[in-house]
């Protein structure tokens, strides 16, 4: 597959590059989509960043990330709401149609309570997001992050939360890294798609061994995930959006990022 028309790369994937360099390099390489991490636009005017992305001929696929709703104390939950409202403002300004939510968890309380707080938090900000033309995608995170990063750890759980929230602009971001191991994943992808809630599709790979909980993701083809199988599943559900390469890797970040970008494109062509 030499068609790059659906390829999107996250700014966090080529983290050593500033967003200005990333946009220039992606455009030169024919990569049409970019997902913008909020740290990449710190101290910048998001409207100007959005214009720069559009001027380069790229599409902003999503803003990463909102979420982190749960907290033991009510002030913590209020701060989370305020931060998510800021994220919606930024998405609107930059022109991102979607915010990915890493929902959060507080190890000091039961997971059920964290899930309730996630439902409440998303409900609180959903209307403002809708007004801004922004959709919100719950990203189920791998169960190894259930203690402090996300109490939503399977497609089933993400779908269940969407049912509870029941807002027209709240759906799911499917990331193969988090769900590849789950025997229920394919059925829950179908359920998600049938509900019109499959908003995003992220790819990378699971290395054996994985040497770090956060920063040792593989490029597609480096590991054991059946990425084409998941691509078929989301496309059978009708998903035809961007395929987003999201790789956090100290190893790849230490490479020359121009050489790395070529490897990303090759991996996309060969293993997605």
Minimum separation from the CB atom of position 249 to its own copies (A): 16
Q: Closest CB to its own copies among 12 and 186?
A: 186
With 0-12 / 13-18 / 19 or more C-beta atoms within 10 angstroms meaning exposed / middle / buried, residue 224 is exposed
- Does 215 bind its own copies (CB under 8 A)? Our answer is no
Minimum separation from the CB atom of position 144 to its own copies (A): 4
Residue holding tokens 């193969």? 176
Question: Which residues on adjacent β-strands are paired with residue 200?
Answer: 173
- Does 146 bind its own copies (CB under 8 A)? Our answer is yes
Annotate 163-181 with DSSP letters as a single string: HHH--TTEEEEEEHHHHTT
- Closest to 38 in 3D by CA, of 70, 15, 6: 15
Pick from 144, 166, 196, 258 the residue near its own copies by CB under 8 A: 144
- Does 157 bind its own copies (CB under 8 A)? Our answer is yes
SS3 42: coil
Residue holding tokens 């020359």? 256
Token pair for residue 89?
Answer: 């403002």
Query: Do 35 and 245 contact (CB within 8 A), yes or no?
Result: no
Pick from 92, 139, 182, 246 the residue near its own copies by CB under 8 A: 182
Spatial distance between the Cα atoms of 246 and 166, rounded to a whole number of angstroms: 28
Spatial distance between the Cα atoms of 200 and 139, rounded to a whole number of angstroms: 9
Token pair for residue 213?
Answer: 């909980």
Stretch that binds its own copies, among 42-50, 64-72, 138-146, 246-254 (CB under 8 A): 138-146
Stretch that binds its own copies, among 21-29, 127-135, 139-147, 256-264 (CB under 8 A): 139-147
Stretch that binds its own copies, among 29-37, 130-138, 201-209, 238-246 (CB under 8 A): 201-209
Residue holding tokens 């001027």? 55
- Does 120 bind its own copies (CB under 8 A)? Our answer is no
Contact flags string 4-23 toward its own copies, x per CB under 8 A? --------------------
Stretch that binds its own copies, among 40-48, 208-216, 234-242, 254-262 (CB under 8 A): 208-216
Cα three-residue angle 97-189-271, rounded to 5 degrees:
80
Minimum separation from the CB atom of position 161 to its own copies (A): 10
Stretch that binds its own copies, among 33-41, 58-66, 175-183, 261-269 (CB under 8 A): 175-183
Parallel, antiparallel or unpaired: strands 170-175 and 135-138: parallel
Q: Closest CB to its own copies among 25 and 190?
A: 190
Query: Do 204 and 246 contact (CB within 8 A), yes or no?
Result: yes
Pick from 160, 167, 187, 271 the residue near its own copies by CB under 8 A: 160
Residues of the shown chain interacting with its own copies in the complex, contacts defined by CB under 8 A: 107-108, 110-111, 115, 142-144, 146-148, 153-154, 156-157, 160, 180-184, 206, 208-210, 213, 223-224, 226
């Amino acid at each position: 597959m030499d068609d790059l028309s659906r390829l999107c790369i996250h700014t966090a994937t080529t983290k050593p590059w500033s967003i200005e360099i990333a946009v220039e390099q992606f455009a030169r390489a024919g990569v049409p989509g970019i997902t913008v991490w909020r740290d990449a636009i710190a101290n910048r005017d998001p409207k100007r960043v959005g214009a720069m992305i559009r001027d380069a001929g790229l599409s902003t696929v999503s803003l990463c990330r909102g979420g982190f709703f749960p907290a033991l104390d009510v002030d913590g939950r209020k701060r989370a709401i305020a931060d998510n409202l800021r994220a919606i403002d930024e998405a609107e300004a930059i022109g991102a149609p979607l915010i990915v939510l890493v929902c959060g968890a507080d190890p000091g309380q039961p997971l059920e309570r964290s899930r309730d707080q996630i439902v409440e938090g998303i409900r609180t900000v959903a209307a403002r997001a809708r007004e801004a033309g922004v959709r919100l995608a719950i990203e189920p995170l791998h169960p190894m992050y259930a203690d402090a990063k996300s109490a939503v750890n399977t497609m089933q759980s993400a779908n269940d939360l969407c049912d509870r929230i029941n807002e027209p602009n709240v759906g799911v971001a499917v990331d193969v890294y988090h769900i590849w191991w789950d025997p229920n994943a394919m059925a829950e992808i179908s359920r998600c798609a049938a509900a019109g809630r499959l908003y995003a599709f992220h790819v990378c790979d699971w290395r054996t061994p994985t040497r770090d909980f956060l920063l040792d993701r593989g490029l597609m083809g480096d590991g054991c995930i059946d990425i084409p199988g998941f691509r078929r599943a989301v496309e059978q559900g009708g998903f035809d959006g961007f395929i987003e390469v999201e790789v956090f890797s100290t190893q790849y970040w230490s490479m020359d990022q121009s050489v790395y970008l070529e490897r990303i494109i090759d991996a996309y062509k060969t293993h997605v």
